[in-house]
Amino acid sequence: MKVLVCVKRVPAPGAKINIAADGQAVDTAYLAFTTSPHEECAVEAAVQLVEQHGGESTVLTLGPAEADEQLRYAASIGVNKAVLLPIDVADWDPQRTAAAITGAIRDLESAGGAFDLILFGNESADSGNFQVGVRVSHALDRPMVNGIKGIELQGDSVRAKRESEAGIEVYSVPTPCVLGVKEGINLPRYPTLKGRLASKKVEVGQVVPQGEAGGQQMVMLLQAAEQVSQTIMLGTGPEAAPAVVDLLEELGLLK
């Protein structure tokens, strides 16, 4: 089977997210970059499906030239092919992103055949627009379900599982289809040394992204109101236990 995974390069902030002086982006001067955990799991799912059923996996991203790093990371754990849609800003709005990805998928499919399964993350880690995958699936006229924590191939359909408050929902979606993956579906492997070396040699294909600006436009980033609290020190080491239990009593948690 042929599987495509779409990932996005995002900064990996630590204790706090600092905004750049112009308010247009996260200050990434001292930050590393990563992909969302949801998307890391989607990459792992793609690799596992190809291991089980044969075929080939491809990873795609729309982002700056540096997003090459995220593509090669996916290759280092076993994805076969990589495609970059280069843009000269950090991000495009979700409609424009979806249009560009849709166009690229059409190009890739007309050259190399249709993808049986296209995987997205449940939402991107930074902008969290909850829509790029849905828009792409609709443009390609393929079924899509988001929030997926289980994928099983069954002939011409995929049995996909999703958690809800009431329990687990099961969807039986005919292929070709699109799924939005949630962290927890699997435990992504770490790259082996061999994988890392191989990923350096993977040829990253390029598709020029095309899409009109959408109706949602960012003006600037704002810091969320920070909760400030004076931390009350209850003590050091096991000797603090009585003070902790006093607190539990005070909060009515000791029954």
Ligand X SMILES: Cc1cc2nc3c(=O)[nH]c(=O)nc-3n(C[C@H](O)[C@H](O)[C@H](O)COP(=O)(O)OP(=O)(O)OC[C@H]3O[C@@H](n4cnc5c(N)ncnc54)[C@H](O)[C@@H]3O)c2cc1C
Ligand Y SMILES: Nc1ncnc2c1ncn2[C@@H]1O[C@H](COP(=O)(O)O)[C@@H](O)[C@H]1O
110 binds, among ligand X, other proteins, ligand Y, none (CB under 5 to 8 A by kind): none
Residues 224-253 that bind other proteins (CB under 8 A): 224, 227, 229, 231-245, 247-248, 251-253
CB of 126 to ligand Y, least distance (A): 8
Please identify, among the stretches 31-39, 66-74, 100-108, 152-160, the one whose residues bind ligand X according to the rule CB under 6 A: 31-39
61 binds, among other proteins, ligand Y, ligand X, none (CB under 5 to 8 A by kind): ligand Y
Of 1, 33, 37, 196, which one interacts with other proteins (CB under 8 A)? 37
Of 20, 66, 130, 206, which one interacts with other proteins (CB under 8 A)? 130
Nearest to 78 by CA among 108, 55, 44: 44
Question: Is residue 58 a contact point for ligand Y (CB under 6 A)?
Answer: no
CB-wise, 213 or 234, nearer to ligand X?
234
What is the rounded CA–CA span in Å between residue 17 and residue 28? 9
Taking a C-beta distance cutoff of 8 angstroms, is the pair 94, 131 a contact? Answer: yes
Of 50, 102, 123, 199, which one interacts with ligand Y (CB under 6 A)? 123
The pairing of strands 32-34 and 10-12 is: antiparallel
What is the rounded CA–CA span in Å between residue 57 and residue 46? 6
With tokens 């997210």, the residue in question is 17
CB of 144 to ligand Y, least distance (A): 11
The pairing of strands 157-163 and 144-154 is: antiparallel
Of 2, 8, 96, 142, which one interacts with ligand Y (CB under 6 A)? 8
Phi, psi of 43, deg, nearest 5: -65, -45
Taking a C-beta distance cutoff of 8 angstroms, is the pair 130, 144 a contact? Answer: no
What is the rounded CA–CA span in Å between residue 126 and residue 92? 12
Q: Which amino acid is at 250?
A: E
How many residues touch ligand X under the rule CB under 6 A: the total is: 5
Binding residues vs ligand X (CB under 6 A)? 12, 34, 36-37, 125
